[in-house]
Structure formats: C-alpha cells, structure tokens
Amino acid sequence: MAKTPPLSPDDQRFISCPYCTIQIPAEGKVCPHCQQVLNTPKKLDRPPAFQKGSDFLLRYLREEQRALLADLWARYGKWIKVAGPVLAAVLLLFIVYGVWVGYKVHVVPNPALTMKVKHEKKGQTVLLQVFVTNEGEDVPDLSLKSIGVVTEFVYRDGRREKKTAFPKAEFRGEGALFRGETGAFEIEASAAGLKEVVLRSEIVDLGTGRRLVPPGGTWRYVPEKR
C-alpha cells in the first residue's frame, strides 16, 4: 500500500480519497491511484488568527459595558428615579387636560363661505374670533338674506347651545358680503365643561325669527312675521 504523504499543519493541501483512502492533493479532480472522479468540497477559508481570542474579547467587552452601565446608574440613577414619576404625571395631566379640560374647534367645510377661527380662553370664558370670506354669490345690504355663522357649543354634561352671528366687513352692514370680501365677528361662551365648538356658515333668512347674535356679541331678536 502506498505511503501517505505528510500533512502540513499550516495548510491542508491533502485530503483522503473516499474510494481508496489514499492521501491526494486537495485541488485534484481525479484520484491518481484509483482513477475515480472526486467531488471534493470547496476549501474553507481558515479563520483569522485573532479569532482564537474572540470569545475572550467579547467577554471583556460585555464586562466593560456592564461596568459602564453600573457607573452611569450610580451617577444618574437617582435622577432617573425622580424624573420617571414626574414625566408620568405630566403625561397624565396632558391626557386629563385633553379629555376633561380642553375643547376642540371644528369648522364644517363650505366652499362658498370659507372660515378661519382664532380662539382663546380667558378665565371661565372662551372667546372666538371668526373670519368669513364669501366665495359665492354677492349678498348686498338691505336684502332679506344675510350671511351668518351658526356656532354650536357642546358641553360634557350633554348641554348644547347654539348662537347665530353675522360677519361684518368694512363699509358694509352685518351679514352683507360681496364675492371675495371678508367679514369678521367675535363670540364668547362659558368655558366650564366645554367639550367642542362647531361652526357652520350659511345664508340666513332674516324673516324666520331666528335668535341672532351680531358681531358686537349682544343678543337681539328678529320678530316673526305676522
């Protein structure tokens, strides 16, 4: 039987033939002894030299990270313990304010009468400043029709309060706006328990006897036709 050539410890240049078990070059495709075609696996790259100590390096890095975290906790842990409940209280206060104290302002879209609303809370009163732009047909003075805004105040106890106000432009009467003109008015309501404010612009028929609020904010009544 042929002698097995010595195997170099530095590089694996020889493999065993699966048919006759003789040592042959790893790059060979045919065994020179038994003439069998070999299906040799691809030669695997040897791991780099520093990989031998990779486990020790990883353990060292983990220990360093743990030591760093422990040092940071020792320095700032007490502040984190204090800041955690404070942040939770602020978040809870924000949620409570949004659900029980805050209110929403919703404008019903109307392409013919577009609106912009500015609102602020002063003590127990909510003040709304509304700007209405006429994008539709002209509504002149001395007309039975007028541009109005129906404002509905929705409270958390189920109450609903509706007010109708007329925007006023410079040099024109209340509720009279030509196409492209903008009128404004202010309206206020109680802020206690207020949940939502809904504004809807429309053309108001002045002959229906509806309860109306002019831009000044004082109440007036339009008498019904007899």
Position 104 confidence tier, pLDDT thresholds 50, 70, 90: confident
The predicted model gives 8-32 an average pLDDT of 71
d(CA 93, CA 101) in angstroms, rounded, equals 10
The predicted model gives 52-67 an average pLDDT of 71
Q: Is the pLDDT of residue 150 over 80?
A: yes
d(CA 110, CA 105) in angstroms, rounded, equals 16
All domains of the chain in start order, with CATH: 12-46 (2.30.30), 49-101 (no CATH), 104-221 (2.60.40)
Burial class from Cβ neighbours inside 10 Å (0-12, 13-18, 19+) for residue 68 reads exposed
pLDDT the model gives residue 218: 39
Contact 191, 121 (CB under 8 A): yes
Overall pTM > 0.75: no
Between 69 and 175, the higher pLDDT residue: 175
